[in-house]
Structure 1
Amino acid sequence: MAQPQQSEGAEANPDGAAPGKPPLRVGMVGYAFMGAAHSQGWRTAGRVFDLPRRLVLSAICGRDATAVHQAAEQHGWAAAETDWRALIARDDVDLVDICTPGDSHAEIALAALAVGKHVLCEKPLANTVEEASMMAEAAEEAYSRGQLAMVGFNYRRVPATALARKMVGEGRLGRLRHVRVTYLQDWLVDPEFPLTWRLRREQAGSGSLGDLGAHIVDLAQYLAGEPLTGVSALIETFVRQRPLPRGGPTSGLSAVKSTGTGQVTVDDAVLFTGRFTSGALASFEATRYATGRKNALRIELNGEHGSLAFDLERLNELSYHDGTEPGAYAGFRRILVTEPEHPYLEAWWPPGHGLGYEHSFVHQARDLVHAIAEGRQPEPSFADGLQVQRVLAAVEESAEKNSVYTPIAV
């Protein structure tokens, strides 16, 4: 194997943790949006939290040699590779972080587990239930050998959502009745936006369903503390032909438009209802066509004793209604989630100083390092990712079976 090039200016121990701790050496595949977010997490976690392992950013991988070396220097990785197989073969990589499109998740994860690495894989776990099943089975076998595998649903790591989960677990809402979730974006509203990989089923698996729906399915099940048991769905693709980007349909979100068009093979928007094991009802909406909405995720849970709501655009807050209070004093109240006793916040700033989106990846790294050091199954596991994949598949199946439009008599 060719000797990998070192990135100029990169540090061998970029986390700032005490050198006496055993190292956890990370290799990451992918360097674009999610790669940058994960790099922030790995680079920062050991500087904020007292971790049991010393994080080392050993190598980052991408097919474009120039771009991946630039990413390595920018984000603090010690070396760069252009072949993921070379990255997972490195002796200085203990954990492989997968930040690639969904069509490569299974191959990379299975290969990494086979050679004894821990794995963190971005959501959705895979493009199909079959791939996700293989990954979950391999992860279970690897766990018996001391290897851990986790899927990256980072919205679990927002302090406000972690606090919401704690409050639901404490019974503050009582028996759950309703869960309603929306995730709205608008980056595809322009019909001239080019045909990137996110609009091709063979690479992305699905559109808004996998990109956004996977997040809200996992978050709803996480907060409810129970899985969905069935769904009924509608799916739509609004613009079916788009300009081909320069370099072909595999280019990223910043691709430059060129002549010619190609077929959009994924969904643009999805609506579905569902039922939890307890009988609670749920509704979900995910779209990349909500004009004016940039990254608007909102979830509300209603129970017999109270309600909770979270809005990602106000991510340091929870809205809570205690239904056991006298009506004269009851109502939704704002909980500012910045106190040191709130999840993750013991290591951050004084009360009232809010955190941001990037901190969820710092918390993700922190939680995985602790799980590895303690030898316990991380959450969400690959089995959890498989369960979400089964929900996504059920949504597609439901939408296909109910694809005939039935008008309502007036």
Structure 2
Amino acid sequence: MGDTLNVGLVGYKFMGKAHSFAYKNVSMFFNMPLRPRMKLLCGRDEEGVKAAAERFGWEGYVTSWKELISRDDIDMVDITAPSNAHKDIAIAAAEAGKHVFCEKPLALNLSDAREMLKAVESAGVKHMVGFNYRCAPAVRLAKKLIDGGKLGRIFHFRGFYLQDWIIDPEFPLVWRLQKEVAGSGSLGDLGAHLIDIARYLVGEFDEVMGMNETFVKQRPMVSEMTGLSGRAAKGAPRAHVNVDDATLFLCRFKNGALGIIEATRFATGHKNGMWFEINGSKGSIRFEFERMNELKYYSVDDPEGEQGFKTVQVSEPVHPYMAAWWPAGHVIGYENTFVHEVYEFIKAVSEDKLPEPNFYDGVRCQQVLEAVDVSIEQRQWVKVDDI
């Protein structure tokens, strides 16, 4: 391995592009203990993966993830393929002695996620799951404030992830709307991020109770995938949508805090509206990803008559990660959260430490997701640890 880490990436569309951006740029901004080498890009369509490899800056490409894993010159495997491929690739990579970075949600279900965790632990390789919102500087600042007691005892977590990209009933049945490929709809795709943020900032979930709805029951079958979207031929046959369009659930944390989480793809006017608020005995914080360089902070210690939410511009060298980027006030964007993930992963490999969030966090998130599903089916509160 020397002073480089040879990377093999599976998947080259939306997330594959985001991860490629991270590997290409991380050494430009961060003093890396190991420099990632973009060795191989993997995708099933040879024409597509070849073009992506050339465009993104990969040295080569393959059309089989098994071939990628078998290569002696690959040190880590990064999985951005659809969720139904995560388990087989991650377990095979671990058994081959490769470090593993896997996009969220970790697996189709809790049983598969636990198998993946067992595999990486048995192999002794480093592992990470791609909850990139943890790596926004404002979220890291929120963690610092909470851990420093600035909010006091935590009472509430409320989180919303709102999108509207599938409201059109003629939008085709892309893989994210197929349970056998995605594992879940809005809950697993969007809600998983909020679950991870809540665990990271507030603590472990105790019990949940949810409800969901699939507003459009059938959609045209897709003929071509294009990133998040897709195309359907005119007059294409329609097929059943077997995932949730929207899920809401109440929760109670083990520390006594209460929470509410909503994830939907039917919130008209919202493109990627992820936000959360946390209320405590000494203050509150609020974060909106569409204004990702800001953190709203309220403190009861401010003088009477001067209290109110203030906006902290999280773009100075004192803030997490920001010393590596631009002069104070020069903001960063969505793609930079992936750079921070890659930095954390490679730093952990070089220091022989386990990065965070890792497969353990992925399993705990999957446990909450499954508990929500069970609660919806049974129409009652469900203890997360019973799942």
TM-score, structure 1 as length reference:
0.90
Q: Tell me the distance in 2 between the aligned counterparts of 1:286 and 1:119.
A: 28
Aligned residue for 1:59?
40
Tell me which amino acid in the other structure corresponds to 1:103: N
Structure 1: gaps of 5 or more residues: 1-19, 404-410
Distance apart, 1:131 and its partner CA? 0.2
Q: Residue by residue, what CA displacement relative to the aligned partner does 1:61-81 show, whole Å, maximum 9, x if unpaired? A: 000000000000111100000
How many angstroms apart in 1 are the aligned matches of 2:64 and 2:39?
15
Q: Do 1:21 and 1:52's aligned partners in 2 also have CA atoms closer than 8 Å? A: no
Q: Compared with structure 1, are the counterparts of its residues 251 and 350 closer, same or farther at alpha carbon in structure 2 (3 Å cutoff)?
A: closer
Query: Once the two structures are superposed, what CA deviation does each residue of 1:356-405 show, in whole Å capped at 9, x if it has no partner?
Result: 000000000000010000001110110110000000000001111119xx
Q: Hey, what does 1:408 align to over in structure 2?
A: none
1:38 aligned partner, one-letter code:
H
Alignment of 1:9-48 (within 5 A): 22-48=3-29
SS at match of 1:292: coil
**Offset of 1:21 from its aligned partner?**
6.3
What does residue 158 of structure 1 align with?
Answer: 136
Query: 1:65, 1:82 within 8 Å by CA — same for their partners in 2?
Result: yes
Q: Distance in 1 between matches of 2:227 and 2:342?
A: 25
Tell me which residue corresponds to 2:62.
Answer: 81
1:400 to 362, 371, 377: 377
Q: In structure 2, list runs of 5 or more residues that go unmatched.
A: 381-387
How does 1:100-249 map onto structure 2 within 5 Å? 100-143=81-124, 147-224=125-202, 226-246=203-223
Amino acid at match of 1:136: L
Structure-1 separation of matches of 2:85 and 2:117: 15
Per-residue deviation, 1:327: 2.2
Task: Tell me how far apart the structure 1 counterparts of residues 231 and 366 of structure 2 sit (CA, whole Å).
Answer: 32
Q: Give me the whole-angstrom Cα distance separating, in 2, the residues matched to 1:21 and 1:299.
A: 42
Partner residue in 2 for 1:371: 348
4+ residue runs over 3 A deviation: 250-254
Deviations, residues 192-240 of structure 1 (Å, cap 9, x unaligned): 000111111000000001110111100111122x111110100110001
Q: CA shift at 1:255, angstroms? A: 2.1
* Number of positions where the alignment pairs a residue of Structure 1 with one of Structure 2: 378
Give the counterpart letter for 1:340 in structure 2.
Answer: P
- Amino acid across the alignment from 1:194: P
Quote how far apart the aligned CAs of 1:251 are. Answer: 7.4
Aligned partner (choices 252, 259, 268) of residue 291 of structure 1 = 268
Query: 1:231 aligns to what SS in structure 2?
Result: strand
Q: Give the residue type in structure 2 aligned to 1:132.
A: A
RMSD: 1.3
What's the counterpart of residue 288 of structure 2? 311
The letter for the 2-side match of 1:58 is K
- Whether the 8 Å CA contact 2:14–2:227 is kept in 1: the answer is no
Query: Would you say the 8 A contact 1:60–1:72 is kept in 2?
Result: yes
CA contact (8 A) 1:227 1:277 kept: yes
Which of residues 206, 212, 229 in structure 2 aligns to 1:254? 229
User: Residue 91 of structure 1: CA displacement?
Assistant: 1.6
**1-side partners of 2:226 and 2:132: how far apart?**
25
Task: Confirm or deny: 8 A CA contact 1:142 1:148 kept in the other structure.
Answer: no
**TM-score, normalised by the number of residues in structure 2:** 0.96
Q: Which amino acid in structure 2 is aligned with residue 309 of structure 1?
A: R
Match of 2:255 in 1: 278
Counterpart of 1:388? 365
What secondary structure is seen at the aligned counterpart in 2 of 1:255?
strand
Q: Does the aligned pair in 1 maintain the 2:137–2:293 contact within 8 Å?
A: yes
AA in 2 matched with 1:53:
L
Q: Tell me the percent identity.
A: 49
